[in-house]
């Protein structure tokens, strides 16, 4: 939007959608004052009834405001309620109430226009401060800019410095790279190699790269790599790397083999008993669901590490909703499970005969006894033990919803989140604010979590052309 000349004292006027989007937004403006117009309080009151997510959030904001005002006097409310934020900084919460508010010329009386009028009135009363309207409503931002009202989008919840992409979870060194150096040429470290319980570890001592993190893949090539390892432990002066198992040829997973370093890293994360949470991102056709199902059946049917597989996804339509679906929970979820059925058909396909045993009743009954297809709507309150939980289309969940699913994990449970932030169908979510992005960032340095963004694809010419041209 329009560039703002910010003064030392700033007053941030919050729109209703900011508080509903992030109920803790009050505490994210450091030492600056936060202002809530009376119009916003009225809109929160209208949204508070019901069981939808927006109603729950509105009630949560109202409870927060009630707690802040319960222990202060009327004079303290008039002069601003102290808000203690991180690093000991203290801002103030102020309420904006004008009994003689004049509407803006040539604009109809609406909540958005009243908020604009309240912001303009406050700006005129406080020439010593920068009064800034914060809203996630694009049309309101454009309208404010046209009226010369300082306005900003709410960006505090964006979890990555690079707002256009998620971390890849990999670091591939190639001699053909920008600096023209290979892996060991670029690292000024001392290396010790040891063998522990059939695993090979590299202990590195020296200055570690700033972009490394725990759980990251380190490879010397995208294809045909000679060195592939996962970062198990990391400090500024040391790192411990564990060599990965090569799943490219003989050592496949339920008949599935990796084609490059990223897919091999994915299979290692899925098969690693030390990794409890795996997040896999990538565009359609990169093999996210295919490899995950193969690893799930390998560890459930063959090695008996888990007792069951639970497959769930957000029932969010890409276009118009087709309406009510009859039947049991599994029958209602069946139309949303096209990815599951397509990948099962490929996993059980006999290439020589060109047929798949997935269509046979006996096979479906055998596998169906270990697979549960569940709606996320009914997962609240459950505890999943000895379970391989697959959350498909994780980008369509809010951070709060995905947190609710991940906290279902009980004893001996592994959770895999699959998603593509470029294909979000949920309204009001973006690549930066969806649950998938939040989980990747929050668990970035947790030693029992791993993330990878897949890139290599085996897709038809039509699919590749559509992605490039449309």
Instruction: Catalogue all structural domains in the chain, each as residue range(s) with its CATH number.
Output: 10-152 (3.40.50.1010), 256-469 (3.40.50.300)
CA distance 284 to 420: 8
Q: How many helices (H) and strands (E) does the chain have?
A: 15, 20
Sites in the chain below the pLDDT cut of 70: 1-6, 85-89, 156-165, 175-181, 250, 317-325, 328-338, 349-366, 427-428, 456-470
Helices within 311-368 (DSSP H only): 329-333, 338-347, 361-368
Query: Model confidence over 353-376: pLDDT tens digits?
Result: 656 555 565 666 667 778 888 888
pLDDT of residue 165: 47
pTM over 0.85, yes/no: no
* DSSP 8-state assignment for residue 56: H
Q: For residue 68, what are the contacts with CB-CB under 8 A and spacing of at least 6? A: 81, 83, 93
Angle between helices 435-442 and 399-406 (to 10 degrees): 60
Q: CA end-to-end span of the chain, whole Å?
A: 27
pLDDT of residue 373: 83
Residue 56 tokens read as 């729950």
CA distance 113 to 107: 7
Closest CA to 455 of 191, 235, 217: 217
């Amino acid at each position: 939007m329009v560039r703002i000349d910010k003064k030392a004292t700033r007053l941030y006027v919050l729109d209703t959608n900011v508080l509903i989007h992030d109920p803790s937004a009050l505490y994210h403006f450091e030492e600056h004052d936060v202002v809530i117009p009376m119009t916003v309080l009225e809109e929160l009151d209208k949204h508070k009834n019901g069981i939808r997510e927006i109603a729950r959030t509105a009630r949560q904001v109202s409870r927060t405001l009630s707690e802040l005002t319960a222990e202060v006097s009327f004079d303290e409310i008039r002069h601003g309620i102290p808000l203690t934020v991180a690093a000991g900084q203290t801002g103030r919460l102020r309420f904006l109430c004008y009994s003689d508010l004049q509407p803006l010329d040539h604009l109809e009386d609406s909540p958005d226009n009243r908020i604009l009028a309240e912001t303009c009135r406050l700006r005129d009363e406080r020439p010593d401060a920068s009064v800034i309207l914060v809203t996630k409503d694009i049309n309101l931002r454009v309208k404010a800019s046209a009226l010369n009202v300082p306005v900003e989008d709410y960006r505090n919840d964006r979890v990555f410095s690079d707002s256009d992409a998620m971390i890849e979870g990999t670091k591939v060194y190639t001699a053909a790279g920008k600096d023209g150096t290979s892996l060991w040429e670029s690292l000024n470290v001392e290396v010790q190699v040891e063998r522990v319980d059939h695993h090979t570890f590299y202990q590195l001592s020296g200055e570690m790269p700033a972009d490394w993190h725990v759980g990251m893949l380190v490879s010397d090539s995208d294809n045909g790599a000679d060195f592939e390892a996962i970062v198990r432990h990391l400090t500024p002066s040391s790192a411990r790397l564990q060599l990965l198992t090569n799943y490219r040829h003989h050592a496949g997973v339920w008949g599935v083999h990796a084609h490059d370093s990223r897919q091999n890293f994915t299979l290692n994360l899925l098969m690693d008993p030390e990794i409890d949470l795996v997040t896999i991102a990538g565009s359609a056709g990169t093999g996210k669901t295919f490899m995950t199902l193969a690893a799930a059946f390998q560890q459930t049917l063959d090695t008996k590490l888990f007792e069951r597989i639970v497959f769930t996804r957000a029932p969010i339509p890409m276009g118009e909703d087709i309406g009510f679906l009859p039947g049991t929970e599994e029958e209602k979820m069946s139309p949303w499970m096209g990815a599951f059925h397509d990948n099962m058909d490929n996993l059980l396909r006999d290439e020589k005969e060109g047929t798949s045993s997935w269509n046979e009743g006996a096979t479906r009954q055998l596998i169906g006894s270990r697979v549960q297809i569940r709606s996320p709507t009914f997962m609240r309150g459950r505890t999943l033990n000895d379970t391989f939980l697959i959350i498909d289309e994780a980008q369509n969940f809010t951070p709060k919803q995905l947190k609710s699913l991940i906290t279902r994990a009980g004893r001996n449970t592994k959770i895999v989140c699959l998603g593509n932030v470029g294909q979000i169908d949920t309204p009001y979510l973006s690549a930066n604010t969806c649950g998938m992005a939040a989980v990747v960032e929050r668990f970035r340095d947790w030693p029992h979590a791993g993330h990878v963004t897949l890139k290599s694809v085996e897709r038809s010419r039509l699919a590749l052309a559509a992605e490039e041209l449309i």
